[in-house]
Every structure is written in C-alpha cells, then in structure tokens.
Amino acid sequence: MTDVARHAGVSTMTVSNVINGRSQRVSEPTKQRVLATIAELGYQVNLTARNLRRGRTGAVGLAVPAFAPGYYGELADRLADRFAAHGLRLAVERTGASRSAELDALTAPRLSGYDGFVLSVVAGDAADLEKLSVDTPIVLIGERAVPARFDHVLMDNVGGATSATELLLRAGARRVALLGGVAVAEESMPGLRTRGYRIAHETAGAAVRKELIVSCGFGVEDGYAATRDLVDRGIGFDAIFALTDSAAFGALRALAETGRRVPEDVQVVGFDNLDEARFTSPALTTVEPGNAEMADAICALLLERIESRFASVPARVVMPEARIVERETTRRS
C-alpha cells in the first residue's frame, strides 16, 4: 500500500479505503487513480495476512455423504461459486454416510481450519448433535431432525414427491414403482419422499402396493439393478418414481435393455433436476427442489453467522414448494 500511495500521490489510508470497499470516503477521480496505479504495479491483496489480522482462515467446509450421486457434486459447485464471490474458498469432505464421520467433522480440531462449516446430516441423530459444543458457525442440511440450537436448511421432500407421483397418476399410471422407498415411516430423505408417494396415492384413491416400494440405493447402478430385478421377477409396473435423478438414469438404461418404451410403456420421474437430466434419451422429467434457492440460503446464513458470530434465534429454512420439470419421460396428463 505504501508503494501504491507513493506512485498515486495519495495517503496509505486512501489506498486502504479503496481496496477495502470504503471508497465512499474517496472522490471518484482519486479512486480511479489508485485503481490504475494498483493495476500498473501489479499489486495484489495479501489474503493470508488479511485473514490472520481478522482471525479468519478464508475457507468454509462442506461435508457430504459421497461425491456421487450427482446431487452433492452440483451442490458443491453452487456453493463454491457463491462463497468465492465473498472471497472464501470451499473445501469438500466426504463422510461416507457414517455417523462417526459426521460427528468427527464437527469436532473442534477439524473445525479450526474453517470460518464456517456446512454438514449434510444423513446418519447422525439429534441426540448425537445435542452433545456437541462448537464455536465455529455451522449450517446443517438434510432431512433428519436436528437440535433447535443449530441452523438448518432443508427442502420440500414430501411436497416434491407428492407432485411427482400425482403427475404419474394423472397421466394414466396405475402401478408406480418407487425406487429407493422405505416400508416404515422415518424422518429421512427416503422416508419423507415415500410419505409423499403414499399421500398422492391416498388422494387419488389408488392402492399402494408394497411390492412396488423398492428398497435400494440412490446411484445409477442402484436404479439399474432395482429396475432389472422388478422385470426379472415379473412384477408389473407402468411407471417409475426414482427418489434421485441418478437412480432414474439407471432405470432408463434397464428399461431400454428390456424393451420397455419410455414413456409409452413405462413413464419415469426423478428427483433433483440434475444438469444431466436434460440430456438423457428421452430427457428426464424430474422434481426441481429449489437447488439455487437452497445454495443461496446456505451461503447467506453462514456468511451472516461468520460476521456476527452469534445467533439469538437459530434459523430453520425450508425451501419453497418443489416444482415439476416436465420433459420426455412422462406423458402429458
């Protein structure tokens, strides 16, 4: 700053005001002269020194169960872009959907490397989280119940699944296979989306057939294997609602291999609105759960906590009602 000030003929405080966003204290001609001098000299802010002075690391963390299926990769991309706009790097960790790994991610030594942290909770429960004592700002995401003292951002799983199943039933489906569903109600992503599936059937006066609720994973191979198994066992179905787009991708491949036409013989709906869903053949109808809005909410909430270091009332943010993106794997209702 001293070099820039000398070359621009201004004080070091004026340079500091310009580079720290306090340019309202500086006239426009002076501001432009300082910026031109910075460009000429190749001056760059020493972010490490700035962060040390402010007691910051310049990084935020994100811990997710896995890097595939594709949902978590796209979430990381969206968050990385948003945090980068505020000068923060995003570091991504994988918990493997392990309770111990999720809890370990929130220990003081692990959190010391971050200004804030985002954790996707899929295995831990409220009792586990209640025992934690943390000073780093944390935002929890996912559908599991968490203690009220934590900020929590979640999507409309029940509403999205209800809309997806209603679409299939309106379009003439009578035997909708649910890939990734659960038999027993639970507060989890598959449990809530299964609830939406059941609500849609009840509203339409249609029977829920237990043989069509298929327990499986959420990846491409899982959807493929589950669909092939239904076909191989001779279980009739005329539609598939896969709890993730990735599982739906696998289902589409299995249907093609077994001679089922989509959507003429079997209609398919996914959930997540991944970028790849536009490029399957046929293009996948899916649930858009508010991906951009969720990334905005996570980023805004964590930045607020990082700046204030205190939340008088922790936030519970639920995304607006999920919407259906109709493409080529469903018939017009």
Q: Provide mean pLDDT across the span 183-208.
A: 94
pLDDT above 70 for 249? yes
Whether the per-residue pLDDT at 47 is higher than 70: the answer is no
Residue 22, pLDDT > 60, answer yes
Report pLDDT digits (tens) over 131-161. Answer: 888 889 999 999 988 999 999 999 999 999 9
The yes-or-no verdict on residue 51 having pLDDT over 70 is no
Alpha carbon distance 90, 299 (integer Å): 11
For β-strands 323-325 and 316-318, DSSP reports them as unpaired
Give percent of the chain above pLDDT 70.
94
What average pLDDT does the chain have?
92
- CA 56 vs. chain centroid, Å, equals 25
What is the rounded CA–CA span in Å between residue 188 and residue 318? Answer: 15
Rounded CA-CA distance 124/332 in Å is 41
Higher pLDDT, 236 or 67: 236
Write down all domains in the chain, each with its CATH number in brackets.
2-45 (1.10.260.40), 57-155+291-320 (3.40.50.2300), 157-289 (3.40.50.2300)
To the nearest whole percent, how much of the chain has pLDDT over 90? 73
Give the type of residue at 124: G
Q: How confident is the model at residue 23 (pLDDT cuts 50, 70, 90)?
A: low
The pLDDT score that the predictor gives to residue 92 is 97
| Cα–Cα distance for residue pair 195/275, rounded to 1 Å | 26
| Size of the chain, expressed as the number of residues it contains | 333
Q: DSSP string of 220-260?
A: HHHHHHHHHHHHHTT---SEEEESSHHHHHHHHHHHHHTT-
Mean pLDDT along residues 174-194:
94
pLDDT at 49 over 60: no
Is the pLDDT higher at 272 or at 39?
272
Residue 118 · residue 139 · CB < 8 Å: yes
119-123, 130-134, 272-276: least confidently modelled range: 130-134
User: Does the pLDDT value for residue 223 go beyond 70?
Assistant: yes
Tell me what the mean pLDDT of segment 288-296 comes to: 97
Is 80 exceeded by the pLDDT of residue 34?
yes
Dist. CA 129–CA 119, nearest whole Å: 11
Name the residue among 143, 161, 248, 237 with its Cα closest to residue 200.
Answer: 161
Residue 38 CA: distances (Å) to CA of 3, 31, 34, 183: 9, 11, 6, 64
Q: How many CB atoms lie within 10 A of CB 244?
A: 28
β-pairing verdict for 323-325 and 285-288: antiparallel
* pLDDT range class, residue 311, cuts 50, 70, 90: low
